[in-house]
Chains A and B, each alone.
Chain A
Amino acid sequence: MSALLEIKNLHAEVEGNKILKGINLEVNPGEVHAIMGPNGTGKSTLAQVLAGHEAFDVTDGEALFEGEDLLEMEPEDRARAGLFMAFQYPVEIPGVNSSYFLKAALNAIRKHRGEPELDAMEFLKLAKAKMAELDMDPAFLKRPVNEGFSGGEKKRNDIFQMSILEPKLCILDETDSGLDIDALQVVAGGVNRMRSENRAIVVITHYQRLLEYIVPDYVHVMYDGKIAKSGGKELATELEAKGYGWLEKGGAAPAHAGA
Chain B
Amino acid sequence: MQDSDAILQERVNQEYKYGWVTDIEQDIFPPGLNEDVIRALSAKKKEPEWLTEWRLKAYRHWLNMKQPDWAKLQVSPIDYQAISYYAAPKSKEDGPKSLDDIDPEIRATYDKLGIPLVEQMALAGIAVDAVFDSVSVATTFRAKLEELGIIFCSFSEAVREHPDLVKKYLGSVVPYTDNFFATLNSAVFSDGSFCYVPKGVRCPMELSTYFRINAGNTGQFERTLLVADENSYVSYLEGCTAPMRDENQLHAAVVELVALDGAQIKYSTVQNWYPGDAQGKGGIYNFVTKRGKAMKGAKLSWTQVETGSAITWKYPSCILQGDNSVGEFYSVALSSLKQQADTGTKMVHIGKNTRSTIVSKGISAMLGQNTYRGQVLIGKNADNARNYSQCDSMLMGSECGAHTFPYIDVKNPSGQVEHEASTSKINEDQIFYCRQRGISTEDAVSMIVNGFCKEVLQELPMEFAVEAQKLLGISLEGSVG
Contacts and interface: CB of A to CB of B under 8 A. Distances in A.
Mostly, the B contact residues are: helix
A59 to B, nearest CB: 20
Contacts of B81: none
Interface residues of A, number: 31
Interface string B450-463: 11111100000000
B17 interface: no
A33 B447 CA distance: 34
Interface stretch (B171-179, B310-318, B435-443): B435-443
Contacts of B451: 93-96, 144
Interface in B428-446: 428-430, 432-441, 443
B9 interface: no
A230 to B, nearest CB: 27
B179 to A, nearest CB: 35
A79 to B, nearest CB: 4
Contacts, number: 77
B82 to A, nearest CB: 44
Given A93-B447, A96-B450, A108 B436 contact: no
Most buried by A among B427, B429, B434: B434
Contact of B438 (A53, A96, A100, A112): A112
Interface in A82-126: 84-85, 87, 90-91, 93-96, 100-102, 104-106, 108-109, 112
Interface residues of B, number: 23
A101 B435 contact: no
A202 interface: no
Contacts of B439: 76, 101, 104-105, 108
A109 to B, nearest CB: 4
Contacts of B447: 93, 96, 100-101, 104
A14 to B, nearest CB: 14
Contacts of B437: 79, 101-102, 105, 108, 161, 165
Interface string B194-231: 00000000000000000000000000000000000000
Nearest to A112: B438
A74 interface: yes
Interface in A58-75: 74-75
A104 B454 CA distance: 17
B448 interface: yes
A112 B440 CA distance: 12
A79 B443 contact: no
A237 B5 CA distance: 103
B438 A93 contact: no
Contacts of B435: 52, 74-76, 79
B438 A79 contact: yes
Contacts of A4: none
A215 B437 CA distance: 26
Contacts of A105: 434, 437-439
A94 B430 CA distance: 10
A53 B447 CA distance: 19
Nearest to B451: A95
Nearest to A51: B436
Given A76-B441, A104-B443, A93 B436 contact: no
A7 B447 CA distance: 33
A93 B444 CA distance: 10
B396 to A, nearest CB: 15
A206 interface: no
Contact of A76 (B427, B430, B440, B455): B440
B440 A96 contact: no
Interface of B: 427-430, 432-441, 443, 447-448, 450-455
- What are the nearest 5 A-B pairs in CB distance? A95-B451, A95-B454, A96-B451, A105-B437, A79-B438
19 contacts: A54-B432, A75-B432, A75-B435, A76-B435, A76-B436, A76-B438, A76-B440, A87-B433, A93-B434, A93-B447, A93-B451, A94-B452, A95-B451, A95-B453, A101-B434, A101-B437, A101-B447, A102-B437, A106-B438
